Amino acid sequence: MPKLTKSGYSYIKETFEKHETGYQTNHWERGIKYRKGKSVERVERPTKLHRARTLGYKAKQGYIVVRARIRKGGMHKVRPKRGRKPRAMGVSKYTTGKNLQWVAEERVQRKYPNMEVLNSYKVYADGRSWYYEVILVDPSHPVIKADPKINWICEAPHKRRVSRGLTSSGRKARGLHKKGWGSEKTRPSLGANKGRGK
């Protein structure tokens, strides 16, 4: 049996995942740069090329990559000034119905309203924030319209797809990554199943 050769992207993945995370390494320098940058900032090329290619990125016209920073943790609620029972405080252990990656994608969408979010992936994390790179596609670009692998995003049903939870992180937050037993009420959506079966 002939020996199977690995693709170039698999070597890139191995190199990236085996990076050193200590003092004055590339990973360390990258974190300093991210913290000094804006919360939503366009980047010239993907940091994780192997991951971006897996999620549909191509180095051609009509595609851009934007890095988004979002704080870690649950919802930060203001503590009541007057007395409450501890269980009625409503300060800690409250989380959003969306995951933070989905929220980051929506913020990028608002910054680039003429683009559609294709997908996103995590690039960095520190004690305070998550950093995601979001792949955006221009549905009105002639190169995108002419590409049969991506021109589905130009159709009307995919307009503002991130706002309707149609990206991978949105589907995960809606419970659509699970199938079978225990996920009977997640399809077609949680709202459509509300009140059913009582």
| Cα-based torsion angle of the residue sequence 11, 12, 14, 18 in order, rounded to the nearest 10 degrees | 140
Provide the domain count of the chain: 1
Is residue 181 in a domain?
no
Is residue 183 in a domain?
no
Is residue 55 in a domain?
yes
Whether 110 has a pLDDT exceeding 80, the answer reads yes
Q: Are 133 and 57 in contact (CB under 8 A)?
A: no
Is residue 72 in a domain?
yes
Supply the pLDDT for residue 100: 96
HSE-CB of 71 using CA atoms within 13 angstroms: 5
- Which is more confidently placed, 79 or 64? 64
Is residue 34 in a domain?
yes
Q: Percent of the chain at pLDDT above 70?
A: 97
Ranges 65-79, 105-119, 131-145: which has the least confidence? 65-79
Within 33-128, strands assigned E span: 40-43, 63-71, 116-125
pLDDT band for position 198 (cuts 50, 70, 90): low
Is residue 156 in a domain?
yes
Q: What is the distance between the alpha carbons of residues 105 and 173, in angstroms, rounded to a whole number?
A: 13
Dig out the tokens for 58 from the structure: 């191509």
Span 174-193, average pLDDT = 90
Is residue 52 in a domain?
yes
- The position carrying tokens 């959003």 is 96
Is residue 134 in a domain?
yes
Residues of the domain holding 110: 25-173
Supply the pLDDT for residue 130: 96
What pTM was estimated for this model as a whole?
0.88
Span 152-180, average pLDDT = 94
133-147 pLDDT tens trace: 999 999 999 999 999
Q: Which of 96, 4, 12, 7 lies closest to 52 in space, CA to CA?
A: 12
> What CATH number has the domain bearing residue 97?
3.40.1120.10
